[in-house]
Every structure is written in C-alpha cells, then in structure tokens.
C-alpha cells in the first residue's frame, strides 16, 4: 500500500481537503497524511466546505512537515507550489507532484471550486496508484 503525504504551506485548507478525500476515496488502497511547511490550524471554511461534500475533516489536525521523515512516504503531493521549498529528500520520493492550486484562504468564495479540483486530482492520483 502506497503512503501519501499531502503538503502545503500551512496545512490549513488544500492539504487538509486532499487528506480528507484521500482517506475516504482511497480507504484500503493508500495510507494518507498531510502537513505544512509550518504548522497552523484547519480552517473552519475547509471543514464546512468538505462537510458540504459529505466528508468530515473536523478531527484532522495541522502538522508540520518537520514532524515526519521522507523515507516513510512513497508519494509526496504539494498543493500550493511549495515544492520548490521542500527539502530534496521529499521531492525525490517515488512520486512527486506539485498541483499549484489557488489558495482559498485568500478568497474564501473559491473554497467550493478548489475543493472540487482537489477531489478530481485525488481521484486521479488514487487511480494511478492502484
């Protein structure tokens, strides 16, 4: 089973949504966690937006990437273009992608669109890893 790390700058919205979708849609297929270049908190808008899609992420926590070891993951997905700021051991995993999705924290009205983009990409990722 592939181990996936979703990473974003603050681990507050996009990576949290990706973790929620991946845990639900990839149950039994992949192991998933998320982190940020810095630790933050899960944005309430992300919790509400995911709830609207039928996924509860209210118990997820924000974690710093420094709390994890790259060798424990097969797949690393950056959601914000922060891949250029990741230590090389994270970028050199079996699979590395940088999705560069818009930051809904800057424009809360785009949370639903970003959520739907995250879901589509997570579905594609799960399919490619199966």
Tell me if residue 8 is catalytic.
yes
Q: Which of 18, 10, 19, 20 is nearest to 51 (CA)?
A: 20
The more confidently predicted of residues 130 and 68 is: 68
Q: How large a percentage of the chain has pLDDT more than 70?
A: 100
Cα separation, 30 vs 43, whole angstroms? 25
Write the pLDDT tens digit of every residue in 58-97.
999 999 999 999 999 999 999 988 878 899 999 999 999 9
Which residues, other chains included, contact 77 with Cβ-Cβ below 8 Å and sequence gap of 6+?
4, 5, 6, 7, 18, 96, 97, 98, 99, 125
Q: For 2-129, which CATH superfamily applies?
A: Response regulator (3.40.50.2300)
Catalytic residue among 55, 57, 75, 80: 80
Q: Hey, is 6 helix, strand or coil?
A: strand
* Residue in 4, 5, 7, 8 annotated catalytic: 8
């Amino acid at each position: 089973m592939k181990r996936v790390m979703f990473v974003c700058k603050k681990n507050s919205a996009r990576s949290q949504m990706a973790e929620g979708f991946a845990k639900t849609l990839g149950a039994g297929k992949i192991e998933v966690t998320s982190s940020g270049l810095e630790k933050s908190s899960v944005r309430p808008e992300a919790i509400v937006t995911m709830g609207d899609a039928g996924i509860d992420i209210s118990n997820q926590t924000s974690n710093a990437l420094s709390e994890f070891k790259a060798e424990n993951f097969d797949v690393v997905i950056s959601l914000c273009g922060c891949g250029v700021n990741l230590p090389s051991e994270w970028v050199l995993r079996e699979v590395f992608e940088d999705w560069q999705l818009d930051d809904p924290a800057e424009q809360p009205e785009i949370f639903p669109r970003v959520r739907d983009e995250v879901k589509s990409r997570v579905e594609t990722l799960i399919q490619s890893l199966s």
